[in-house]
């Protein structure tokens, strides 16, 4: 089987992390975001993954090379001369996607869920039509693509409305599709095209698009607030399905569960960690540190008695003694927060040193 992952865009909503790292490589629960997807695809027998990119992918090529062999998948980079939107890249990768007549997967690169690919394949084959969109329910549907069904039909889609201004329903496009190769005939070559605004409405018109209901959690983690929420959902799911990947709750410093710590990280004495904390490779945590609902990216250091909540600490950053970070604070690569400093919702650019309190949410350049 084959898959294409849409990896374009500059990840501006995930700044300052994406100023020094391509979004798909930012570690989500201690693993590059895109690797969660590639692993799940490989697990159902996908052998060819196309990464559709519109910037030079050198760093990604280097990082992903080692996984090709490990996972037994061929990773193809498909570089767009100009951004081709969400459908144009499929046409550009036509050669790989039409290697055989089997349907292929398409994924937005910034979403997390339990990736039920096997069930999706079975469902898609069972209805025999051109495409299947995975859908999930959300409370605030206006930032997504909304799906409306044919009356009296369990899965056939009647309307697809991208970013609706008025309420049309709360079942939304989760950014995972399975499509027959015939869909490629609907897309023009070398023209930026939106799958949501052009291709899907055309397939809907012919009555050939179906929805598949997602079980379990789902989140678009393309911005810091949602990245933190998505991490909580992912860790809660692991606690049920694969608790071995979490630190056992019997560990004295774990508080409230859902704690993931890389084996190379060091934890000081008398810490209180959790719930919903991810500590990356090589991190060093001092004594008496309090961490909750946060991700510490590889190589970061938190000094004694710091207090961190709802925060992403960037690679190799240092948080000073008795510092307090909260309210969706994001530190870029190599940031230093001074001792006893308070940061409330700060977005701190790479290589900065913060010596004064940040009392209200702000971008610190």
Residues with catalytic annotation? 163
One residue of 27, 48, 130, 196 binding ligand GDD per CB under 6 A? 196
CA distance 71 to 66: 9
Among 36, 63, 68, 83, binds ligand GDD (CB under 6 A): 83
Task: In angstroms, give the least distance from the CB of 7 to ligand GDD.
Answer: 6
Rank residues 27 and 110 by Cβ distance to ligand GDD and give the closer one: 110
In a 3-state reduction of DSSP, which class is residue 229?
helix
Helices (H), the chain: 33-43, 58-71, 88-92, 94-97, 117-127, 200-205, 224-241
Which of 133, 277 has the CB closer to Mg ion?
133
Report whether 285 contacts 307 (CB < 8 A).
no
For position 110 contacting Mg ion by CB under 5 A, the verdict is yes
22 touching ligand GDD, by CB under 6 A: no
Per CB under 6 A, 328 contacts ligand GDD? no
Closest CA to 3 of 32, 43, 38, 31: 38
Q: Which of 145, 222, 224, 350 binds Mg ion (CB under 5 A)?
A: 222
At 112, list the tokens.
Answer: 């997390």
Shortest reach from residue 31's CB to ligand GDD, in Å:
17
Q: Using an 8 Å Cβ cutoff, are 55 and 18 in contact?
A: no
HSE value, Cβ hemisphere, 13 Å, CA-based, for 158: 10
DSSP conformational letter for 314: P
Q: Bridge partners of 177?
A: 106, 133
Distances (CA, A) of 192 to 9, 85, 90, 137, 189: 13, 5, 11, 29, 9
Under the criterion CB under 6 A, does residue 193 sit at the interface with ligand GDD? no
For Mg ion, give the closer residue by CB, 130 or 220. 220
Q: Is 176 in the site for ligand GDD (CB under 6 A)?
A: no
Please tell me whether residue 213 binds ligand GDD under the rule CB under 6 A: no
Instruction: Give the residue, chosen from 162, 262, 304, 334, that forms a contact with ligand GDD under the rule CB under 6 A.
Output: 162
Evaluate whether 251 touches 268 at the Cβ level (below 8 Å).
no
Q: Give dist(CA 305, CA 211) in Å, integer.
A: 50
Q: Which does 83 bind (CB under 5 to 8 A by kind): ligand GDD, Mg ion, none?
A: ligand GDD
Q: Is 283 in the site for ligand GDD (CB under 6 A)?
A: no
- Number of CB atoms found within 10 A of residue 163's CB: 12
Q: Counting contacts by CB under 6 A, is residue 109 touching ligand GDD? A: yes
What's the min distance (Å) between Cβ of 46 and ligand GDD? 17
Name the binder of 145 from Mg ion, ligand GDD, none, CB < 5-8 A by kind. ligand GDD
Nearest-CA neighbor of 20 among 356, 331, 242, 278? 331
- Please pick, from the candidates 48, 130, 198, 220, the single residue that binds Mg ion as defined by CB under 5 A: 220
25 binds ligand GDD (CB under 6 A): no
H-helix segments, 73-166:
88-92, 94-97, 117-127
Between the two ends of the chain, the Cα-to-Cα distance in Å is: 45
Cis peptide bond prior to 16, omega within 30° of 0: yes
Is residue 131 near ligand GDD by the rule CB under 6 A?
no
Question: Which CB sits closer to ligand GDD, 10 or 322?
Answer: 10
Min CB(83)–ligand GDD separation in Å: 3
| Footprint on this chain of Mg ion (rule: CB under 5 A) | 110, 220, 222
List contacts with ligand GDD (CB under 6 A).
6-9, 52-54, 80, 83-86, 89, 108-111, 144-145, 162, 172-173, 175, 196, 220, 222
């Amino acid at each position: 089987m084959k898959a294409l992952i849409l990896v374009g865009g500059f990840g501006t909503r995930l700044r300052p992390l994406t100023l020094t790292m391509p979004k798909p490589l930012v570690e989500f629960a201690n693993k590059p975001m895109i690797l969660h997807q590639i692993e799940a695809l490989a697990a159902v027998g996908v052998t060819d993954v196309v990464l559709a990119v519109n910037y030079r992918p050198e760093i990604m090529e280097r990082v992903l090379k080692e996984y090709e062999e490990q996972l037994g998948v061929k990773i193809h980079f498909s570089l767009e001369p100009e951004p081709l939107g969400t459908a144009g890249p499929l046409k550009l990768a036509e050669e790989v996607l039409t290697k055989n007549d089997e349907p292929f997967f398409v994924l937005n690169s910034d979403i997390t869920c339990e990736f039920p690919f096997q069930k999706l394949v079975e469902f898609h084959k069972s209805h025999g039509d051109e495409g299947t969109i995975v859908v999930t329910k959300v409370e605030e549907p206006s930032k997504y693509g909304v799906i409306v069904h044919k009356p009296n039909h369990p899965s056939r889609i009647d309307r697809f409305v991208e970013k609706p201004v008025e309420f049309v329903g709360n079942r939304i496009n989760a950014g995972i599709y399975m499509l027959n190769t015939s869909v490629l005939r609907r897309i023009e070559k070398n023209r930026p095209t939106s799958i949501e605004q052009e291709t899907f409405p055309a397939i809907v018109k012919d009555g050939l698009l179906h929805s598949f209901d997602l079980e379990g959690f789902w989140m678009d983690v393309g911005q810091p607030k949602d990245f933190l929420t998505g991490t909580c959902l992912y860790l809660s799911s692991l606690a049920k399905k694969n608790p071995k990947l979490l630190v056992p709750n019997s560990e004295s410093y774990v508080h409230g569960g859902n704690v993931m710590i890389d084996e190379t990280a060091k934890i000081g004495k008398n810490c209180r960690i959790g719930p919903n904390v991810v500590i990356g490779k090589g991190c060093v945590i001092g004594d008496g540190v309090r961490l909750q609902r946060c991700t510490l990216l590889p190589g970061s250091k938190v000094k004694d008695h710091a207090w961190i909540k709802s925060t992403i600490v960037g690679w190799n950053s240092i948080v000073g003694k008795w510092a307090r970070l909260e309210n969706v604070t994001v530190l870029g690569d190599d940031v230093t927060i001074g001792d006893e400093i308070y940061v409330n919702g700060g977005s701190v650019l790479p290589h900065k040193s913060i010596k004064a309190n940040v009392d209200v949410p702000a971008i610190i350049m």
